[in-house]
Amino acid sequence: MRMVPRTVSKMLAISDDQQFVIGCTGCLRTLLAKGYKHLLHHSKKSVIGEILLLATRLLEPASPELLSVNVGYILIHVLERLDPRVSTELLMAVVKKLYRSRMPSVVQSLVALFARLLLKNPKDILALLTSTSVDSRISLKILLDRWLLHQPLFRGKYSKAVTCAALLQLFTMRDPQVETLMVITYNPSHSNVNSGKRFGLKRIEVNAPFKILCTLIRCVDNEAAAKVTQAREVLEAAQELLKPIAGMLGAMSPGGASPNHGLGAIAVLFMRLERRIRSRWTTWRTTAMWMPIWTLE
């Protein structure tokens, strides 16, 4: 693990090469996730200090947005495995960077950090977000605006799981600050917004719990659609594989597909398996159709 401080020190010295910094932050993220136990036997305080210094530098407003694509996950590993203490200045730097971020991958990384903190200390994090502001905007509104607009674009099992779990906790907490908060309802980068501006339409905001609920339903629906598509491809491939095998075994049998003959019995077995696949596909499709409703009960 001696390469961790060397990597961090080199990134601090060479911060102009974007490809180098992005690659090194990705490596640092993997090292912290897989080999964090080795850091406990080295100078942990100095390494953590350099990592936090690197994160602070990458979160500066003048730093390119793409350089922060791994910062959120690096901070998650540091806070969970090395040092659970987090400074208010660092969290506010994340909020300011999130306020000016537009790339879904960067927003995902920074939102995942707050999602993990909300799952661990929801009251303290909500108190911090509601008591601070950036450009006269409450930090909680900045976070939820970016979060809810980009949530359907998040990738990765961990990111989707932790962000959806944090949204569900925010929804069920019934906190007055969240209940009365208004968030935007659409992505400002979409073309229909520009067409709306030509006709004098104003940006519409909706109550935060309603937007959270709609986002969760959409995420569940997207996951169900993906599972159905994957199941359909597998079942179609299995059917195409079983049909010629069953036909060939039935033709090889002297009396056709007779259960009393060895090959005929195998052919009948394959035919029954094919019918079971068809019935299973119907069941999966129905389950995926009603899954969002079951989730809300």
What are the Cα distances from residue 265, in Å, to 11, 65, 243, 250, 262?
A: 67, 64, 15, 9, 5
Same-domain pairing of 103 and 52 = no
pLDDT of residue 130: 92
Lowest-confidence region among 140-149, 193-202, 234-243, 269-278: 193-202
CA distances from 231 to 218, 240, 282, 290, 294 (A): 20, 14, 11, 16, 20
Q: For CA atoms 105, 106, 110, 113, give the dihedral sign.
A: positive
Residue showing tokens 């990134």: 11
Identify whether residues 186 and 232 lie together within a single domain.
no
CB-CB contact of 48 with 7 (8 Å): no
Asked if 251 and 183 sit in the same domain, the reply is no
Degrees (nearest 5) of the Cα angle 272, 276, 223?
A: 155
In a domain, 74, yes or no: no
123, 172: one domain: yes
Torsion of CA 16, 19, 21, 25, to 10 degrees: 170
Report yes or no on 128 lying in a domain: yes
CA 9 to chain centre: 30
Does residue 187 share a domain with residue 93?
A: yes
Q: How far is CA 192 from CA 187, 189, 196, 199, in A?
A: 9, 9, 6, 11
Name the token pair of 60.
Answer: 């500066």
Amino acid at site 51 = I
Confidence of residue 61 (pLDDT cuts 50, 70, 90): confident
DSSP SS3 for 102: coil
Q: Per-residue pLDDT averaged across 46-55, rounded?
A: 81
pLDDT confidence tier of residue 279, bands split at 50, 70 and 90: low
pLDDT at 48: 79
Q: Is the pLDDT of residue 41 over 60?
A: no
Q: What is the distance between the alpha carbons of residues 49 and 124, in angstroms, rounded to a whole number?
A: 24
Is 283 in the same domain as 245? yes
Domain co-membership, 103 together with 184: yes
Q: Provide the number of structural domains found in the chain.
A: 3
The SS3 call for residue 182 is strand
- The residues, ordered by sequence, that sit 6+ positions from 252 with a Cβ below 8 Å of its Cβ are 263
Q: 116 and 186 in one domain?
A: yes
> Which domain does 126 fall in, by range?
86-203
Instruction: Output the pTM of the full model.
Output: 0.71
| Mean of all residue pLDDT scores within the chain | 75
pLDDT of amino acid 21: 81
Residues 104 and 29 in one domain: no
Q: Give the pLDDT confidence of 5-20 residue by residue, as tens digits.
A: 555 655 555 556 778 7
Question: Do 160 and 119 share a structural domain?
Answer: yes
